[in-house]
């Protein structure tokens, strides 16, 4: 673990990341000593920092630290956190404040292989995501909604929970983005009022453009989700997993999901 | 500073307080070696921990640590943070997890005395608070809305910013609760969809009951605020400050505010 470039697993109790969740993060996958899609993650980090008015650490510095970690942990999950830094008491950020950046490393999770092949069982969470356009899409450290949603179930068979917003639209899952396949079209929920816009979601959107598949980013109803031809969730660690079960609905074949998955796991 | 009862100003980067804002806090004022209204703060801490499913540290332990701090810092601002603790990766809390508790001490702020006497200048924030009934009222560590609201102005004359919600109701201020005085009645916004329910707000509500003053907890419109006979904000550090200026409205006399303030600062 690195805190501001130094080996440490500790952070000040006066860091605004702890006090207010005043920061952002990214989670990425290292395979064979390569951090997959690091440049896309860094772009998101920059964008998210800018949205909160945090000075994003420079690419060269973060990439240098990442390279050192990759040598030690070539197969791993890497997490980078950037907080606004350590400051005086009160919500107003001090004018002069130096952001804190943290790297953490964990083992690659040992997911059953059949998830990618046969799909996962998901449920619908009761918690409804609140609307905050100023924070929507950003992977910030205010994640209590995700925590409370993930606490809703303890059945180990259920791998993910879908989240609706207060308006009744389906938005995402607790730790992944959602795609709906209907009549050969790809649809993913609009994240302008809530939700986290992940790198893997962008990659699927880019795939659709390259392959001239209709891709809609818009509000998605629960009915549409339950009647979809295919459903899949994505994030940078799992890649792409189809849904085989959601509440009372079942799916068996995932031809489009598998095509995208094969393309994105491969050279593309 | 104390972390889990030991002298330290550091916390693990794997603490869920940092990772997800998965925790709660209280800020209290120490005067003459006494932490004002500690028992009320502890009750809130218990309530807020329970709302998130965090085991609240026992009263005896926290009170013991507080007493030690009060001997060293008899005039100070004390902050206690309780997080869900340090856990494995992912939003789902581990079954066995030990909460982290942190004490931090700062100097009592040197507020100008005329604020209590002549009132403060406040503004209306542009940010609208989002509705999340599961988190409403709780003083949790997901405080990015407060941070973004506080960043809206840098005019040192403006002491506080009032916050409305997405439905257009006035809810609170960035770091204080709001009371409206109209025709001899006290009104304070309903906090069942957003906002933080502070100890000082409860004390004013209790005062109204003791003094048979009509007290309404309900939705409050901006028009009602701007046309109020008196407005005042409260929190555990400032006590009670009347508003003398809000946008284009001005107030000069605050008889009811001062009566409450004198009672609550005194023996009651």
* CB-closest option in A10, A84, A145 to B13: A10
**Where do you find CATH 3.30.470.10 in chain A?**
2-106
Q: Residue B89: which pLDDT band, with cuts at 50, 70 and 90?
A: confident
Q: CATH 3.20.10.10: which residues of chain A?
A: 114-265
| Predicted model pTM | 0.97
Q: What is the pLDDT of residue A157?
A: 96
pLDDT at A128 exceeding the cut of 70: yes
- Structural contact between residues A210 and A48, judged by C-beta atoms closer than 8 angstroms: no
Say which CATH topology domain A2-106 has.
Answer: D-amino Acid Aminotransferase; Chain A, domain 1 (3.30.470)
List of residues 6+ apart from B151 with CB closer than 8 A: A53, A92, A93
Residue in B1, B3, B147 closest to A93 by CB:
B147
Per-residue pLDDT tens over the stretch A172-218:
999 999 999 999 999 999 999 999 999 999 999 999 999 999 999 99
CATH architecture of the domain with residue range A114-265: Alpha-Beta Barrel (3.20)
Mutate to test the interface with A, among B147, B156, B164, B196 (most CBs of A within 10 A): B147
Residue A88 confidence (pLDDT): 81
DSSP H or E run through B43: helix B38-52
What pLDDT, on the 0 to 100 scale, is given for residue B88?
81
Cα dihedral across residues B239, B240, B243, B246: positive or negative: positive
Query: How would residue B23 be classed by pLDDT, with cut points 50, 70 and 90?
Result: very high
Task: Decide if pLDDT at B267 tops 70.
Answer: no
* pLDDT beyond 80 at A15: yes
Q: Is B158 exposed, middle or buried (0-12, 13-18, 19+ CB in 10 A)?
A: middle
Smallest Cα distance from A27 to chain B, Å: 11
Q: Which DSSP helix (H) or strand (E) runs through A249?
A: strand A249-250
Q: What share of chain A is helix, strand, coil (3-state, %, to 5)?
A: 30, 35, 35
Residue keyed to tokens 């009862």: B5
Q: Give the pLDDT score at A239.
A: 95
What integer is the mean pLDDT of B112-130? 96
Q: Read off the pLDDT of residues B126-143 as tens digits, 9 standing for 90 and up.
A: 999 999 999 999 999 999
| Nearest Cα residue to B203 out of B37, B29, B51 | B37
* Residues of chain B found within 8 Å of residue A89, distances taken between Cβ atoms: 77, 79, 106, 109
- Note the pLDDT of residue B171: 98
Residue B24 has pLDDT above 70, yes or no: yes
3-class DSSP assignment, residue B68: helix
Residue B143 has its nearest CB partner, among A1, A8, A21, at: A21
> Residues of A with CB below 8 A from B13's CB?
1, 3, 8-11, 81, 102, 104
Q: How many CB atoms lie within 10 A of CB A61?
A: 12
**What are the residues whose beta carbons fall under 8 Å from the beta carbon of B170, sequence distance 6 or more?**
B162, B163, B164, B178, B189, B220, B221, B222, B224, B225
- Give the CA diameter of chain A: 56
ipTM score of complex: 0.97
Asked whether residue B265 carries a pLDDT value surpassing 90, the answer given is: no
Spatial neighbors of A228 by CB under 8 A, at least 6 apart, are A180, A181, A182, A251
A24 pLDDT band (50/70/90 cuts)? very high
Q: Give the model's confidence band at A59: pLDDT under 50 very low, under 70 low, under 90 confident, else very high.
A: very high
Percentage of residues in chain A with pLDDT exceeding 90?
96
């Amino acid at each position: 673990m690195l805190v501001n470039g130094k080996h440490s697993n500790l952070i000040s109790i006066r860091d605004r990341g702890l006090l207010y969740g005043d920061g952002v993060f990214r989670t990425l996958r290292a395979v064979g000593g390569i951090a997959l899609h690091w440049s896309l993650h860094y772009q998101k980090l920059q964008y998210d920092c800018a949205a909160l008015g945090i000075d994003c650490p420079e690419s060269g510095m973060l990439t240098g630290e990442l390279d050192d970690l990759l040598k030690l942990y070539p197969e791993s999950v890497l997490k980078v956190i950037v907080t606004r830094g350590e400051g005086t008491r009160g919500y107003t950020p001090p004018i002069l404040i130096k952001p804190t950046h943290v790297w953490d490393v964990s083992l690659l999770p040992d997911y059953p292989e059949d998830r990618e092949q046969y799909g996962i069982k998901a449920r619908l969470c009761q918690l409804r995501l609140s609307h905050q356009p100023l924070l929507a899409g950003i992977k910030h450290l205010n994640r209590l909604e995700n925590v409370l949603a993930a606490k809703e179930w303890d059945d180990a068979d259920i791998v993910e929970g879908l989240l609706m917003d207060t308006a009744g639209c389906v938005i995402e899952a607790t730790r992944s983005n959602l795609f709906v396949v209907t009549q050969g079209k790809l649809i993913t929920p609009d994240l302008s009022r809530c939700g986290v816009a992940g790198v893997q979601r962008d990659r699927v959107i880019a795939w659709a453009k390259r392959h001239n598949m209709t891709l809609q980013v818009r509000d998605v109803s629960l009915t549409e989700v339950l009647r979809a031809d295919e459903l899949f969730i994505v994030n940078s660690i799992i890649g792409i997993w189809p849904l085989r079960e959601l509440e009372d609905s079942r799916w068996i074949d995932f031809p489009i999901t598998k095509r995208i998955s094969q393309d994105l796991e491969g050279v593309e």
